[in-house]
Every structure is written in structure tokens, then in C-alpha cells.
Amino acid sequence: MPRAAVFLDRDGVINVCAPPHDYIKRWSEFQFLPQVDTAIAKLNKKRIYVFVVTNQRGVARGLMTVENVDDIHRHMRHSLMEKQAVIDDIFVCPHESGTCHCRKPDIGLFLQAEQQYDIDKTHSFMIGDSVGDIQAGKKYGITTISIGSTCFDGDYHFHDLNEAVDYILGGNIG
């Protein structure tokens, strides 16, 4: 049976963004945004896939390694797990802009997910805080939600992840 999926951008959705032109390079720099665990646990209860799709070109720029990113994600998943919140999978683009087909707004990360999981696209969402997230979600053909202070040209806009998830699960959209 295909299952709905919520694709989450990472920086600005799950955790506080690094300062402009910088990256989250180690776990000590990672800071969860409020109620992210609550929001993800709600999706888990409804058996909706939770995937992270994240651009991390700090790797291509030599500011961090793939191992650094993996280590951050190990800690992130472990911390969430302690709050009964499970991320089903994480897809990372470590490349420089214009050198691959996976960096959002391209949809390679979504296609990677689709190869491994049976996804019901008609009931799936992309949630992000930047224009590239919204463009990618649109290109992939799922409902798009922007969160944070800037409202992009997505289908919906909410203050934060938990608000967006409440709206999705409220049966208002999708």
C-alpha cells in the first residue's frame, strides 16, 4: 500500500539555520526548533512517511565532510527518537549548485525516496523555508507549504512545522 509522505527541508524547518553563508558543520551547532518532535510524532502516528531532503553544499565547498553531516543526522534522529519521533529516511545533496540533479530545486532527492518507498504522491507534501524547497515540491508534483517568516509562492504558509502538520492532519488539505 502506498503511503503519504511529508518531505521536510532541514535547516529552518527542523533546526535553526546557520548564519548566512555558513553551514551547520557539527552537532554542537545544531539547535532544534520548538515542537519539531511533537509534529513528527503526530505524522508517525498516522503512518505518514517522514523524509528529510536537504541541500548541504558546505560539503562540496570543503567546509565539512559527508561524515560530519551523517554524524549530525545520527544525533538528530537519536534525540527525536527519545521523544517518540521517527524520521523514516534522510536524503542529502552534498554537491555544488549546477553540478548535479539532486540539489533542490531539482527533484533528485525525491526520486531517490521514490525508488525505496511506495509513496502516495497525491496526499504528500513538501515543507520548507526557502524558495528552492517550494520550487522542488511543485516540480515533483506534491502540495507545497512554506513556513517561517517569508511566505513564498507555495500552496500554503504557516508559522512553523507543528502548525503545518496540524493543518495537514486536520483534513483541511491533501
Identify whether 160 is a catalytic site residue. Answer: no
129's contact among Mg ion, Zn ion, none, with CB below 5 to 8 A by partner kind, is Mg ion
Coil, helix or strand at residue 143: strand
- CA–CA gap between residue 21 and residue 54 (Å, rounded): 16
Catalytic residue among 11, 37, 88, 106: 11
Query: Is 118 annotated as catalytic?
Result: no
Gyration radius from the chain CA atoms: 15
Q: Classify strands 5-8 and 49-55 as parallel, antiparallel or unpaired.
A: parallel
Query: Bridge-partner residues for 18, per DSSP?
Result: none
The one-letter code for the residue type at 140 is Y
In the list Zn ion, Mg ion, none, the entry touching 95 (Cβ below 5 to 8 angstroms by class) is Zn ion
- Residue 106 is a binding residue for Mg ion (CB under 5 A): no
Q: Does 60 bind Zn ion (CB under 5 A)?
A: no
Pick the binder of Mg ion from 12, 137, 148, 154 (CB under 5 A): 12
DSSP state of 29: G
Which residues in 69-128 contact Zn ion (CB under 5 A)? 93, 95, 100, 102-103
Q: Which residues bind Mg ion (CB under 5 A)?
A: 9, 11-12, 129-130
